[in-house]
Amino acid sequence: MTQITITTPDDWHLHFRDGDMLNETVPATARCFQRAVAMPNLVPPVTTADMVSEYKQRILAARPKDSTFEPVMTLFLTNNTSCQDIIDAKAAGALAAKLYPAGATTNSDAAVSALDGMFPVFEEMQKQGMLLLIHGEMTAHHIDIFDREKEFIDQNMTRIVSAFPHLKVVFEHITTKEAVEFVLAAGDNVAATITPQHLLLNRNDLLVGGVRPHYYCLPVLKRNIHQQALRSVVATGSKKFFLGTDSAPHEKDKKENACGCAGCYSAWSAIELYTQVFDELGALDKLEGFASHNGADFYGLPRNSTSITLVKEDWVIPAEVTLPNGNPIVPFFGGETCAWKIKD
């Protein structure tokens, strides 16, 4: 197959950042996605209904002219989040709230450090029909970084899902075979997003022959056996898994230094690279469900009514793009050849 037309896809997990960065990230996403779930880990984080509304307006202001792209807004959970905050955020249009363990990723220091205290909030979310999006990693210093996801499943994810059987839970950017197995075994209220980098790469790609800072993300890339588990499950067409890029931009000098930031900026190439993966797996017939149907169905939103066409044609992903402030940023797989592209 050398051409495929699919319902316009959505990105169910990404980081637009804020300020001038929006003038780069929003158009890059809107070029191929109709909707995107905007992560709330800004500085300061999006913790109130007013902040949800204000951030949405800043995103909309950065849309290309005549674009119909729509952000899906989220609330940042802290140990001070109240049930009233959930009610107000839902009324302001937030469809989900994001649980970060404190210190798990960029700008997450204000996040949740006492999970049990959040159970009344989860109960209110269940009542309001608001989704819970979980960055599922244990961040205690003694836990090996490659075991963080499994430990979170064992210690926290299992009991959250058991305690709130009617709460829709998205296990974000899963990276391990244990997470695949957990989601498959859970009820219909549990689903997961998967990134392009975790389908394309494993920790050898990050570390062998020298550290590649533009492959460094959190959760970190895992062993090949985990990469293969992710690839295998998307090839089945299971409705419990859908597209979430975790596109996370950082300026080049903040990635290429002694303490490089975590995140892969994949908006420039995401749908093309996902298509390449599904082609490699002989599962192009499963791409539309993963990219365009499963997420909308799980969120309870209508599927998009437009479509995009991709053709099997080599093109080179830009090695760098220039931000509005003049600083460079390196896209995921920047300078490398991708085998699929969006048809003009």
- Annotated binding residues for substrate, written as ranges, equal 15-17, 41, 135, 218, 250, 262
Torsion region of 108: left, alpha or beta (phi above 0 gives left; psi -120 to 50 gives alpha): alpha
Q: From the annotation, which residues make up the binding site for Zn(2+)?
A: 13, 15, 98, 135, 173, 246
- Please give the Cα distance from 96 to 37 (Å, whole number): 9
At 341, list the tokens.
């592209």
Asked, as a colleague might, if the bond just before 101 is cis with ω within 30 of 0, I would say no
- Please give the Cα distance from 22 to 29 (Å, whole number): 10
Determine contact, residues 236/12, Cβ cutoff 8 Å.
no
At 302, list the tokens.
């209508």
* Distances from the Cα of 42 to the Cα of 55, 147, 150, 287, angstroms: 10, 27, 27, 31
DSSP-derived pairing of the beta strands 3-7 and 307-316: antiparallel
Q: From the annotation, which residues make up the binding site?
A: 13, 15-17, 41, 98, 135, 173, 218, 246, 250, 262
- Please give the Cα distance from 278 to 273 (Å, whole number): 9
246 is catalytic: yes
In sequence order, what DSSP letters do the residues of 269-317 get, joined into one string?
A: THHHHHHHHHHHTT-GGGHHIIIIIHHHHHHT-PPPS-EEEEEEEEEEP
At 221, list the tokens.
């890339």
Give the Cα-Cα-Cα angle 22, 24, 27 (nearest 5 degrees): 90
Sign of the dihedral through C-alpha 280, 282, 285, 287: negative
Pick the catalytic residue from 10, 11, 85, 246. Answer: 246
Q: Which among 312, 319, 314, 313 has a CA at the least distance from the CA of 333?
A: 319
At 287, list the tokens.
């791409």
**Active site amino acids:** 246
